[in-house]
Amino acid sequence: MATYAECLSIVREVLGEYLEPGQTAGENDALVADLGLSSLQMLELVVEIEDQLDISLPLNQLPDVRTVHEFAQMLESVAGGAQP
């Protein structure tokens, strides 16, 4: 079980590996439009977070995720037992 705050922290931590030095991920930043992640980097990001939380994220839900906040929210729904 993971809370929203824990999920947000994990997303920010893993995202850090993909950002330019000094760049930080804000909660409302869009993963592609603002942070510049490529589709391949998005895939790697998802796999790394899945392994950290020992979950599998359904592909059906990923297209709805645009921002850091939405990503953390989805993680909470899958890993935290909250309603998606």
Partner 1 sequence: MSLLEKFAPLGKMRHELLEYGSLPFGVVTERVISPTVGIVHGRETILAGSNNYLGLTFEPSCIEAAKAALDAEGTGTTGSRMANGTYSTHHALEEELAEFFDRRHALVFTTGFLATMGMVSTLAGRDDVLLIDADSHASIYDGCRLSGAEIIRFRHNDPADLEKRLRRLGERSANTLVVAEGLYSMLGDQPPLEEIVDVKDRYGACLLLDEAHSMGVFGAHGRGLAEALDLEDRVEFVVGTFSKSLGSVGGFCVSSLPELDLIRMAARSYIFTASPAPSVVASTREALKLIATRPELRERLWRNANQLYGGLQESGFRVGPQPSPVVAVFVDQTELAIDWWHRLLDNGVYVNLVIPPATPSTSCLLRCSMSAAHTTEQVERIVSSFANLRSENRLAGSAG
Least distance CB 40 / partner 1 (angstroms)? 6
Q: Which is nearer to partner 1, 30 or 53 (CB)?
A: 53
R_g of the chain, CA atoms, integer Å: 12
N-to-C CA span, the chain: 14
Is residue 47 involved in binding partner 1 (CB under 8 A)? yes
Cβ count near 30 (within 10 Å): 16
Q: Which is nearer to partner 1, 33 or 47 (CB)?
A: 47
Beta bridge partners of 30: 67
Residue ranges in contact with partner 1 by CB under 8 A:
38-40, 43, 47, 51, 54-60
